[in-house]
Structure 1
């Protein structure tokens, strides 16, 4: 569970306490009219906040038209996109600080690459320190109608949750730019 998940859990517990407390208070028949109305407004605001939070946490998807990919920034400030790796959809963070496509062990398994059978001969420096890496070749890599074959990548031997789309792939685009909260990749 990450920090955002923990904060959401605390929020939902507090929301349940407010709603439950308001219902118990109303059903008990105690308290003045003004106090009951204040509790009702608290429930209304909590419900509106819950609805807005649910709507805002829906993942925003990339838009692909021809050789152009538009990736909106997510709430965490990163640019996430979904690519198919050997026919399996995987979620990537676009990372201009990463040299290669870097697959986490779980994503590698999903894509048919067994991380336990790899030779971890390289190393890379990550935000979490140095990790061992193994070179692999992705047979089929596609984002929408943009398809590549025999794409070099790395599998990280460590706690990489998810995967990174690094510069070795981004350099295949003629243009990589930012327009407000959009990352634009164009062929």
Structure 2
């Protein structure tokens, strides 16, 4: 064998076929590629990434609201509506055709006119001012304690004389005869003079029996 033949055989030993070159190139590329998540996994992770923080803040806000409600309730005391029933009360029809009874709203003396057509007990603005009733702020909580009147929320009332603007507030107590109603709502209403109206939010807690010109008020069966 000649030297040229030997050189040719040696060079063929280091020459790769096109197929072998392609296989080796694919192997190199595979080693250089960084494995990533399967298709679709990245999308799911991105879309679900906000869910846990959202649930956390929702739970935190809910717990905060519960804590605030408990703190407000504890700081205000017991402001639940309740009735302390006494002995029966008998009223005589007055000259104006109405039943009237002396009583108190908070510590302020007042003369009530029994008004079964009024859904709320109503007091004049002057009495509301003496009681310390103030208008509620547009935004905020009523932090009034149980032994003081709550703030007054604006409301429009429809009366026999038309529409009138007033407000509604909680008062610590309403007394008449031997009865006491605690934490009842009252309307602070202009245009009713100096007399208060004893409305059905209080009267429905009692039994009313009219015979002739007499009205007997007794504790309801549940009281």
- TM-score, with normalisation over the residues of structure 1? 0.58
Is 1:121–2:151 an aligned residue pair?
no
Q: 2:124 is matched with which residue: 94, 101, 104?
A: 104
Structure 1, unpaired ranges of 5+: 1-64
Deviations 1:92-136 (A, max 9, x none): 111011001111112223333357986553211112211123111
Q: 1: distance between equivalents of 2:175 and 2:152?
A: 26
Structure 2, unpaired ranges of 5+: 1-84, 138-150
Q: 2: distance between equivalents of 1:88 and 1:80?
A: 17
Counterpart secondary structure, 1:108: helix
Q: Is the 8 A contact 1:94 1:166 kept in 2?
A: yes
Partner of 1:10: none
Partner of 2:192: 160
Q: 1: distance between equivalents of 2:162 and 2:136?
A: 21
- Label 1:137 to 1:185 Cα distance change in 2 as closer, same or farther (>3 A): same
Note the 1:33-182 alignment, pairs <5 A. Answer: 66-114=86-134, 121-156=154-189, 158-161=190-193, 162-173=195-206, 175-182=207-214
- Label 1:137 to 1:164 Cα distance change in 2 as closer, same or farther (>3 A): same
Q: 1: distance between equivalents of 2:152 and 2:181?
A: 24
Q: 2: distance between equivalents of 1:116 and 1:135?
A: 10
Deviations 1:57-101 (A, max 9, x none): xxxxxxxx9421111111111111111111221011110110011
Q: Is the 8 A contact 1:105 1:160 kept in 2?
A: no
Counterpart secondary structure, 1:70: strand
Q: Is the 8 A contact 1:109 1:115 kept in 2?
A: no
Deviations 1:15-34 (A, max 9, x none): xxxxxxxxxxxxxxxxxxxx
Cα RMSD after superposing both structures: 2.3
Q: 1: distance between equivalents of 2:104 and 2:164?
A: 25
Higher strand share: 1
The aligned length equals: 121
